Amino acid sequence: MEKSNYTPSIGGNQNKTYLRSKAIESDIVNNMFSTDSAKKILSTGIRSEEDLQRLVNETGLASSAKGKGGVSMTVPGLGQGTIGIGKDNKGLYLSYSDVWDVDPTSGTSATSKSSLAKKGVEILQKTGLVSPPSVYGRIYFDPKTGKPILE
């Protein structure tokens, strides 16, 4: 994880630090779009917002609802996150965002079932002593080839 150069254009806070992950970006490009139809869309290139929307629709991953600035769905490396589509002066991009609220004491991947440990994490988060980082990044597409640009 490293500091992101971007802030979400919808619902973002200019005073907040967002993190990005090159590994998550690579995972999104290389593993999220694994259906045959998604691979075909990627191979022909992304040149419009409509192309990106078709790509997101063809992930084969369940999307649960509209999120702030995109679609809430399963995102590699983040679990439930938001995938968005945008365009700025650098070009067309696919964004990913999440509050990385990884809690090892809860959920199906819990490493501790101790109610004391759960209570401790809850107290730390409620008091603000521990807060999950906000993750936000963008994957741009080359305007000539339509291929993803991984920085």
pTM (2 d.p.): 0.75
Structure tokens that stand for 19 in this block: 């993190």
Strands 134-141 and 18-20: parallel
d(CA 49, CA 124): 41
pLDDT band at 25 (very low <50, low <70, confident <90, very high): very high
Residue 139 lies in a domain: yes
Question: Between the CA atoms of 61, 66, 70 and 74, what dihedral angle is there, to the nearest 10 degrees?
Answer: -30
Domain ranges, residue 139: 2-105+133-149
Query: Each residue of 91-121: b (16+ CB within 10 Å) or e?
Result: ebbbbbbbebeebebeeeeeeeeeeebbeee
Closest to 28 measured CA to CA, from 127, 105, 140, 119:
140
Residue 15 lies in a domain: yes
Average of per-residue pLDDT across 104-133: 55
For residue 89, give the amino acid letter.
N
Residue 113 lies in a domain: no
What does 15-60 look like in DSSP terms, one character per residue?
TS-EEE-HHHHHHIIIIIS-SHHHHHHHHH---SHHHHHHHHHTS-
Q: Is the pLDDT of residue 109 over 50?
A: no
Closest to 98 measured CA to CA, from 137, 124, 61, 127:
137
Residue 122 lies in a domain: no
Residue 125 lies in a domain: no
Rg (CA), the chain: 17
Residue 67 lies in a domain: yes
Domain total in the chain: 1
More confident residue, 127 or 3: 3
Instruction: Quote the pLDDT of residue 90.
Output: 93
Residue 110 lies in a domain: no
Instruction: Quote the pLDDT of residue 2.
Output: 87
* Structural contact between residues 72 and 61, judged by C-beta atoms closer than 8 angstroms: no
